[in-house]
């Protein structure tokens, strides 16, 4: 059944209006390294120092920082700087992020 003009206007307004986070989120999790970092933050369930993430991932601090920057810009993680140390955590107050976390956890149980 074809769409009515009113339905088309509503759909156009819905998909054009506002910032669409999906491309940003998909880009953030499209990289295997960023996926592993995201899972690492899920498993730890708290604040993790950048140096610890670099050590666990066997990567340099600049390389990890670049990946974390992309995850932070996507809105998946947040950071907090205390003195000279930077900590990262999953953004638990974001329903989209928590939906992604639940999906990943569900898939891992299979």
Q: Is 77 helix (H, G, I), strand (E, B) or coil?
A: strand
Q: What average pLDDT does the structure give for the chain?
A: 88
CATH topology of domain 19-109: Arc Repressor Mutant, subunit A (1.10.10)
Q: pTM of the full predicted structure?
A: 0.76
CA 76 to CA 38: how far, in whole Å? 8
Predicted pLDDT at 15: 66
- Alpha carbon 97 to chain centroid, angstroms: 6
Domain positions in the chain are 19-109
CA quadruple 72, 35, 92, 44: dihedral sign: negative
CB distance 86 to 49 below 8 Å: yes
57-108 pLDDT, tens digit per residue, is 999 999 999 999 999 999 999 999 999 999 999 998 988 888 888 887 777 6
CA 1 to CA 27: how far, in whole Å? 34
The token duo for 93 is 């107050």
Q: What are phi and psi of 90, to 5 degrees?
A: -70, 140
């Amino acid at each position: 059944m074809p769409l009515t003009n009113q339905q088309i206007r509503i759909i156009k307004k819905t998909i054009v209006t506002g910032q669409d986070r999906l491309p940003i989120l998909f880009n953030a999790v499209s990289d295997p390294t960023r996926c592993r970092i995201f899972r690492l933050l899920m498993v730890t369930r708290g604040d993790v120092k950048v140096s610890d993430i670099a050590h666990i991932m066997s990567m340099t601090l600049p390389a990890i920082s670049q990946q974390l920057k992309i995850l932070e810009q996507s809105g998946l993680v947040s950071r907090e700087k205390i003195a000279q140390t930077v900590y990262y955590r999953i953004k638990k107050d974001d329903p989209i992020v928590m939906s992604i976390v639940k999906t990943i956890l569900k898939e891992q149980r299979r």
